[in-house]
Amino acid sequence: MRQRLEEFCRINPGAQKIVQSLGNSAAIKLRVLPDTDLLFRKAKGGLELTAYPSAERVEVDMDITLPAAMLEDFLAANPQTADAIILYFAENYYHEKYRPHIDLKILSGAFRLTMKGYLGLIPLGGPALMSILRSKGFGSIGAITTALKGIARK
pLDDT digit string (tens) for 14-68? 999 999 999 999 999 999 999 999 999 998 878 999 999 887 888 999 999 999 9
**pLDDT at residue 26, as a whole number:** 96
Range of the domain at 49: 2-149
Which conformational region is residue 46 in: left (phi greater than 0), alpha (psi within -120 to 50 degrees), or beta?
A: left
pTM as predicted: 0.88
Cis link prior to 79 (omega < 30° from 0)? no
Domain total for the chain? 1
Whether 81 is covered by a domain: the verdict is: yes
| 54: three-class secondary structure by DSSP | coil
Q: What is the CATH number of the domain that holds 77?
A: 3.30.1050
Decide if pLDDT at 109 tops 70.
yes
Whether 54 is covered by a domain: the verdict is: yes
| 21: three-class secondary structure by DSSP | helix
Q: Report d(CA 23, CA 96) in Å as an integer.
A: 33
